[in-house]
Structure 1
Amino acid sequence: MAAILALAGSNSSTSINFKLVQYTTSLVQTHDIQEINMAKHPYPMFSEDDEKQNGYPDALVELKNIVQQADALILSVNEHNGNPSAYFKNVLDWLSRIDRKFLEGTKVFLMSTSGGKRGGIGSLGVIENMLPRFGAEIVSTFSLPSFHENFGSGAIVNAEFKEEHLTALDTFLETLQ
């Protein structure tokens, strides 16, 4: 049984990406899952000056330790202007300064969603290219477009997207056997 960490790259209390993460984890039956709601975790903006003067914030060292204890990661990234949110990029900046290979050996199911027709695909692409630099193995990806039309009552309601999501999730889970 693998230890899976699940989170969204959003600090919004109403994050649709976190809703997608929660739906995804509800489908996983055979592994230990820890969900983190990032809306409850404010972090300071990364600054080399701050790093030199104060070192690493305890909360980010703790997050790095949680990430490194996991065998795998379910992550859904939000999108601002075609890129990951400043919040999530900031988290990655801090974590990679604490330990450049903080995701070494971690298998990742990478997702995104948005209210628009592109489904956060720009942000997904940026993060898909970035995470391997930190040691991650992107096993599968999934993007859900038009969240408010394709998701309801805590689940994907569009049959085609539901099947695509399940296939990507199964591919990810198979690598954890």
Structure 2
Amino acid sequence: MKVLTFAASNSKKSINKQLAIYATSLIEDAEVEVLDINDFEMPIYSQDREEELGIPEKAKLFYSKIAYADAIVVAFAEHNGSYTAAYKNLFDWTSRIDMKVYQNKPMILLATSPGPGGASSVLTSAVNSAPFFGADVKASLSIPSFYDNFDVIQQEFLNAELLNQLKRAVSQL
């Protein structure tokens, strides 16, 4: 199985990227491709820019990466209760190719934050909207207080219950 994973964050130190990579390591016999959305930076989407420039090649490449995958794991960072601007811009451009951005792929949606909310606001938004954009959401999970529950040096969960929940989530793929 080819699994595409990325953090919906442009932070070089993204805890959501750590979570996404860890989650995909739990999938047996998976060929995992990790994307960095910094590689897909484009001008801020607007109808005027689209008419002037057309669809950027980076949006087409992102769309083709999704097409190539059998499944997708995304971990969403939360900025002020919503998507990061970097992810939203990439999504907006890609949706101009096809509104079904996720191309009916099975998906696991994750989110984490340093605080007790675990980026649950953005995760709820993603879970509720993703099916409209061609996602087959199999499971979702918010990880609260990331640094209390995950050892970033050893790259392992400290909280057995959250680890079990994550294993159950990824087993849905």
Matching residue of 1:55:
54
Query: Which amino acid counterpart does residue 50 of structure 2 have in structure 1?
Result: E
**Greater shift in the superposed pair: 126-135 or 40-49:** 40-49
% identical equivalent positions: 34
SS state at 2:50 partner:
helix
Show structure 2 runs of 5+ residues with no match. none
**Greater shift in the superposed pair: 150-159 or 116-125:** 150-159
Contact 1:11 1:40 in 2 (8 A): no
Are residues 1:16 and 2:15 paired? yes
Contact 2:41 2:58 in 1 (8 A): no
Are residues 1:167 and 2:171 paired? no
Contact 2:66 2:103 in 1 (8 A): no
Shift of 1:72: 1.0
Contact 1:68 1:102 in 2 (8 A): no
Q: May I ask how many residue pairs the two structures share in their alignment?
A: 171
Equivalent-residue separation in structure 2 for 1:65 and 1:74 (angstroms)? 16
TM-score (norm 1): 0.92
C-alpha distance after superposition, 1:11-60 (max 9, x if no partner) = 11000000001111222221221111223432221111000011011111
Show structure 1 runs of 5+ residues with no match. none
Contact 1:71 1:105 in 2 (8 A): no
Shift of 1:10: 0.4
Are residues 1:145 and 2:135 paired? no
Matching residue of 1:132:
131
Shift of 1:69: 1.5
TM-score (norm 2): 0.94
Equivalent-residue separation in structure 1 for 2:29 and 2:142 (angstroms)? 24
Equivalent-residue separation in structure 2 for 1:47 and 1:105 (angstroms)? 26
> RMSD over aligned Cα, in angstroms?
1.2
Matching residue of 2:155:
154
